A and B are shown apart, each in its own frame.
Chain A
């Protein structure tokens, strides 16, 4: 069943009956979905619906209780080590070191992901120029810049898939807009983006979305498809309806 050859090249994530239980409680209940390469996949759900648990399983932070998955064509259970090199991750919480400078943070993650010093030097200068940043202590940057920097650092090693767990929390609308431009440009370069969000307007920016309710995927498809299928004017309304019924 689990053939050693990677999944079809056009699929970046394949999840099959992925389940995680904590004692009696089933946080993620047999979810099955796939994400195509270069796609921006929105993973929606209310708080406690199981989004973070699902992301933790896909990034190797939590072992699934049941089911299996492939990330970047690699098996989640047997090829965890290789997966780690091929994915990027940005958590809800700001995760760069505030007492280190921008360049020191970049050097750290570059080093951890096995980039060479010339690679690190080159990519840092490109990144600083793109973001229009000076090399300063990260703690001194405004929140919006920090988030953009954290995203750029998550892409530093050019991962096949990048997981963004509520990346725009607490950020002003203009920066959110810029952030989404960065997401699109990453997707254009072939990086698959798996993003969770609370903002339903952001859901409309995704190529496809899934909505989780009580550990299950209640519906999945492109925003346009979903609005037609459920006959709603916006994803926001669909979300509220599904969350209530669940």
Chain B
């Protein structure tokens, strides 16, 4: 009957927790976190032949039928329909009520009784014990009243309390399931079926059984189950789960598609490029599942309070009974104590945090942002300072040529030679040279015998002459002279934080010399300034902790507008800086690329990795943004804050409501049926308040396309260079 507390409920995808139980549905063992989820799941998954699902509805329907009739007759009795001449039918009505109430209590109360019993055997009291105790007390008293001593009957209380709680749990479960709607496609990577085409046959297979090279058919509207290339068909896809941008991307034969994206409008045949279990989608799925299994501190505190609540309420009910029994008839006192039991059921408190978490995590994940744990979300909400771990986080990571100093040669010759040489390199600067050459319409001069000197540069032969491109150190190792003009210009360039590459070659077999200095710069992200501005509008301070030299850090800091920056920091001094910030600002977050800044990210309260290339399972960051997804950060912070304020409002509401209602009940101002309705209403309000998170807007896509922006910037700079020279 029991299950591990870390598994997720089949219906609402929240942690099963300690109250969880296993039920077999349609021949499959399913874990549920509560009875409500069990009913709701069976109701939802009920197909015509699923007799168990129908049985649940029959139970609910028949229980409602009985308790509604009890209520109806009781109402008529209370409102005086059977007074005067009709008085002699009263005993018959009482018998009828008993006959209706007995099956009603059995049918509706059984699940609560079962839960109480299974928990009691493990020495725990849960809130269902309160419900069971309350309704059984009312039932037993009324039964005795019918057959022995007469008086008021409370069958309506017994059955209506049970029915209202059943209804409340059902509504709760329906709400929670709606909250987890965003999560379902993310968790589907584990259970989704792919249509594999083998010759003329098509088979439905679990995604994890799909291997590289298999052909997979994807119909319009379906989710693409594997990474691969399109073999046949054309369509548009939505890759929001992976990239965070919800927009249509046109795909034709030969285009690559990502697992988890939605095939919008055309049938596709895809050749899988890898195993179905290794896609980023599958990794996201595992990561989200892990996150949902964690619980935050707020939630743990709430759970502990709820645990302590039940015995206190039992004691309080007993005291209430004793107190009122001395002043009122026993049945009145019992009714008051019963209201205490019923109204204290802390269902809403247990619901306050998990639902908001699952909504938050689900929505972030749908836009490609992964959260490690609900705790990280709450920490991000209370963060007051965001530090960027390195300059590279705020730049495109694609250097471009910004300046060119020459000594006795033509610019175009330098670029053409350099481009020919750098063609053989994968280095970022090499790419920048090639871009600059092609922007001027230059054909690279073919270089031969190219060799890479690690950390220094490149050597090669162009037109029979020895040529070298690289650092000043490389040039002095070669014994090549650096003309004072170039040295001066180079020092100037370096002082503004640019990277310098020298180019030199031999001419007419004479000794080589340095002939030009190229200056490169990494462009800040086009949207970086807007992102920082948005973060500051959220009341956050933004800092830059860079390991680069001061020039580069200063320039980036000035361009994007951070509040404070420190440059040339070693990892240890970064830690010291973070410590200082933590003293000053409390909770702090750190943004990095997740590649080689793991320790820094782990040290901050919230580590945020952008476009992590590493395996998500080994990722140390608490929050992973998609590649090129820094623009999502302000939205993510806003989301985290919304989640946190929803949780706080829920807790304040649930506790406040319970305390006020409890006070009323102790004072004898609350009827038990009303108390049950009030509690069901409280749960429903918490559910509805959490569902408000659904209505917050998604991220608005404001980012300029990085590649085109970089190219434009490069062209503009080169045009300037031309004018100047």
Bound pair (A, B):
no
| Chain B interface (Cβ < 8 Å from any Cβ of A) | none
